[in-house]
Amino acid sequence: MSSVEVEFEKKIGLEKDRVREIILFNDDVNTFDYVIKTLMSICNHSLKQAEQCTFIVHYSGKCAVKSGSLNELKPICSKLLDAGLTAEII
């Protein structure tokens, strides 16, 4: 294996393992109560944490609601999207 291939393998490994975040975006459709309940159910937030995230999303337009590896976050983000929320992994 060449040194370029070794470096590429390392970069891919690091990229896969790096910590990412699910960003939840504000919308004009879902109520505060619905977003709070959804965050508690899907992201395992406490009531206080879900309320805080919901207010941040409302007033700032977005909020990081969960962090972890890409593999951990993909199913959570999918559930948020299926629930009608707007979210992405960064």
Which pLDDT tens digit goes with each residue over 23-61? 999 999 999 999 999 999 999 999 999 999 999 999 999
Residue pair 65/43 in contact (Cβ under 8 Å)? The answer is: yes
Distance CA 65, CA 45 (A): 9
pLDDT at 24: 98
Mean of the per-residue pLDDT values for the chain?
91
User: Residue 69: which residues within 8 A CB-CB, separation 6 or more?
Assistant: 16, 17, 18, 19, 20
pLDDT at 17: 73
E-strand stretches of the chain: 20-25, 62-68, 86-89
Ordered by where they begin, the domains of the chain are: 19-89 (3.30.1390.10)
